Structure 1
């Protein structure tokens, strides 16, 4: 078990006759890494969050609701025949008109048992391709904040990893210096004992 004294705040910055140059370098590396970690994490998180929220806002503006029609009957029991509100959906082929006037087909989620020609609401992008329903502003904010937080944490890890690698090199160098100093001290001690 290592002997430990009372915990001293900011011990790396206090004067000490045994403090070496590598100890001072380590102080500055540690301080710089923490400042850089905070800055990089916050800036990356905010940048990514704003970019994601802007992209989701652009989707809300550009994507449009289109009425499509089922191209064939959908297997399954019809919700109107069963008498209960059925929230189950199945994939089926639908047809709609793109902004350029061409007919498009694709897969959309519809109620089981729907007959061919049943109108279905789908969302398309500017080119008329099927897309998911755009997020609401509050959903977009939550999604952007989550993605921004993850990006900020990932970006903040880079300076921390660099700091750990650099401190590891400093520690190895410091131990090598201690070994050299102890070897010199041991040689002096032996000379005094023999002489």
Structure 2
């Protein structure tokens, strides 16, 4: 049966150095933190982001409402009534003036950016804030969940990468120390190397 690579570092033997044991414990700690800590960090980050985004979404829904707005004729016939076409044939965004009736019963107008083909008189759903200004739609649950999942995965990956980087940095420093020790040892041995009767 073949032995596990690196297992020799755990067994007492005259060739084992103190740095070998340090490296073995560092590797074990890195694995433990990655296996246990990374998922825990991901779950904590995901929950925190999810709570924040859900609160933001609830606040936005409370402060915004949807109305039906009508696209008004453009000041110039060549702009605002039909979306220009991009080179691949897809409709692009353009600015148009819309009108809607506010909560106070009065008509309101604003310039907004819309996408697609919208001629004058077309009715569009538009989100309005408490000051009767067009705003973006409130954050939906699916978007909040996907962002929370992405944040959790990112946090877990970041912690795992940080742990592995620290483990590699420690290994690099231990290797440099070993090479320095070897250099000093060879310097001492080199003084008598090849001399007759050396070490006799």
Normalized against structure 2, the TM-score is what? 0.67
| Equivalent in 125, 150, 156 of residue 146 of structure 1 | 150
The aligned counterpart of 1:81 is none
Show the 5 A alignment for 1:9-20. Answer: 9=5, 10-20=7-17
Cα deviation code 1:132-185 (max 9, x no counterpart): 4532x3453333212321232123212221221121111100111122223334
Q: Does 1:171 align with 2:175?
A: yes
Distance 1:190 1:50, change over 3 A: same
The equivalences for 1:1-195 within 5 A come to: 7-9=3-5, 10-61=7-58, 62-63=60-61, 64-67=64-67, 68-73=69-74, 74-76=80-82, 90-91=93-94, 92-95=96-99, 105-109=110-114, 112-116=117-121, 118-124=122-128, 130-132=135-137, 134-135=139-140, 137-187=141-191, 190=194, 193=197
Instruction: Tell me, in whole angstroms, the C-alpha distance in 1 between the residues paired with 2:178 and 2:34.
Output: 25
Q: Which runs of 4+ in 1 moved over 6 A?
A: 97-102
Structure 1: segments with no counterpart, 5+ residues? 1-5, 78-86
Instruction: Give the direction of change, closer, same or farther, for the CA distance of 1:144–1:180 in structure 2 (3 Å limit).
Output: same
Q: How many pairs were matched up?
A: 179
Partners of 2:192 and 2:40 lie apart in 1 by: 55
Whole-Å Cα distance in 1 between the matches of residues 102 and 156 of structure 2? 39
Higher helix content, 1 or 2: 1
